A = this chain, B = another copy of it.
Amino acid sequence: MRYKAIIAYDGTNFHGFQRQVSGRTVQAELEKTLTKMNNGTFVEVQGSGRTDAGVHALGQVIHFDFPKERPLEKMRFALDTQSPADIACKSVEVVPDDFHVRYLVKEKTYQFKVDIGKPRSPFRRFYASYYPYPLDLAKIEAALPAFLGTHDFTSFCASGSSVEDKVRTIRVAKMAVNDAGDELTFTFTGDGFLYKMIRIMVGTLLKIGNGRLEADAIPAIIKAKDRNLAGPTAHPEGLYLVEVKYD
């Protein structure tokens, strides 16, 4: 029986989602929990995609096959409470045997938080990237729509990525400021994102806000398909995988 689960995790103390030879990972911790729940027989976990070290998730989606049928809330509760405290299980449902959490993704939403307060908040040091330099938010607002639509995002993909097709469609690209005025939240929704794409997009937007790149620079950067023209890669601790949608 195949189960799909929505998982949240604080990425601070993980070497990312994906199982590795060494280093604590979300996938390995979930497999440990499920294997224990399965009386020691290994249960493999598939995730909707990797997240890097320090990156968080509010709505990572996983699937796994579990031999016994169990009441869903019991399954959720066990997965939640028997996993370490930095992993939570928000929901569990039964899915068809041919459901696949990675191949069938329709849309993903990420958020990126930037602490722009002075001083940096001790409470956000693992949960937002800190940007202590002047920012013209109007310039960022003006630049954001250039990411919308279908483009080859080679310029916003970390070099060394092995993905061949770098065309992606972005449906939502927006920014919000909290009431206190000391935290920005970027939200991006698209059919998929390349390796470090959100972090490079945010790094580029901050460079625009700081006046070191023109607000209308993004279309030309996209067109050039050259990673060197985009801004720096923003830090992982600001990034959250918020939601993964399926048909």
Contact = CB atoms under 8 A, between A and B. Distances in A.
Interface of A: 8-10, 56, 76, 80-81, 85-90, 119-123, 125, 127
B8 A121 contact: yes
Oligomer copy total: 2
Chain A binding surface SS class: mixed
Contacts of A119: 8, 76, 80-81, 88-90
Nearest to A85: B125
26 contacts: A8-B119, A8-B121, A8-B122, A8-B123, A9-B122, A10-B122, A10-B123, A10-B125, A56-B123, A76-B119, A80-B119, A80-B120, A81-B119, A85-B120, A85-B122, A85-B125, A86-B122, A86-B125, A87-B122, A88-B119, A88-B120, A88-B121, A88-B122, A89-B119, A90-B119, A123-B127
Contacts of A122: 8-10, 85-88
Nearest to A87: B122
A59 to B, nearest CB: 12
A81 B119 CA distance: 9
A126 B200 CA distance: 30
A50 B76 CA distance: 40
A196 B104 CA distance: 52
A22 to B, nearest CB: 23
Contacts of A80: 119-120
Nearest to A125: B85
A120 B228 CA distance: 42
Contacts of A87: 122
Nearest to A124: B10
Interface centre among A9, A10, A123 (most CB of B within 10 A): A123
A9 B88 CA distance: 26
Contacts of A9: 122
Chain A to chain B: the 6 pairs with minimum beta-carbon distance, closest first: A10-B122, A88-B119, A80-B119, A86-B122, A88-B122, A85-B125
Nearest to A90: B119
A127 B88 CA distance: 16
A85 B123 CA distance: 9
A76 B120 CA distance: 12
A9 B121 CA distance: 8
Contacts of A89: 119
